[in-house]
Each structure stands twice: as structure tokens, then as C-alpha cells.
């Protein structure tokens, strides 16, 4: 008869390994002020103004209520687009 051990050196199946929370592929962003669903980045627009300085504007859309918002990271300002 084989000898029984009190220690368990066998590794559990792969699906039982304790895994950390996977990193989000997209950073979490601001929720919609109307329905509180996270906004989705639609596009980034980079341009040079008349002064020659570069400006960046990002357009976000709410997947739930179809509201659109423009964000200016340099100013930290959000505004709703009609």
C-alpha cells in the first residue's frame, strides 16, 4: 500500500489559480451627468490655433443617452455639444 502524505504538493487546475483583477484596457473616464454611465471617447482633435500653440480637444459620447461632450484637457473644461 502506498504511503499517504499529509502535505499536498499538487497544484490546482489553472482555472482555480487566484488571479488579480485584470487591468482595464481603457482608462475609466467621467460618468455622464445625465445618466451616470461612463462616457466613451469618440475622437481626439489636435490643432494649431492662430497663435501657433497646439490645442487638444476630445469628444466623448454616452452610449446610454447619446449625449455628446467635448473635453479640453489643457483647461480641464467639459461642455455639452448639441
The confidence score (pLDDT) of residue 9 equals 58
d(CA 29, CA 39): 6
C-alpha torsion 73→74→76→77, nearest 10: -90
DSSP state of 38: B
28-76 confidence digits (pLDDT tens): 578 998 999 999 999 998 888 788 888 889 999 999 999 999 998 888 8
Residue with the larger pLDDT of the pair 58 and 22: 58
What predicted TM-score, i.e. pTM, was given to this entire model? 0.58
The confidence score (pLDDT) of residue 75 equals 87
Its CATH class, for the domain covering 26-81, is: mainly beta
Amino acid at each position: 500500500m502506498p504511503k499517504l502524505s499529509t502535505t499536498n504538493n499538487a497544484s490546482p487546475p489553472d482555472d482555480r489559480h487566484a488571479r488579480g483583477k485584470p487591468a482595464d484596457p481603457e482608462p475609466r473616464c467621467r460618468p455622464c451627468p445625465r445618466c451616470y454611465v461612463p462616457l466613451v471617447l469618440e475622437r481626439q482633435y489636435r490643432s494649431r490655433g492662430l497663435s501657433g500653440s497646439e490645442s487638444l480637444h476630445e469628444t466623448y459620447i454616452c452610449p446610454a443617452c447619446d449625449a455628446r461632450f467635448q473635453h479640453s484637457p489643457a483647461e480641464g473644461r467639459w461642455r455639452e455639444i448639441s
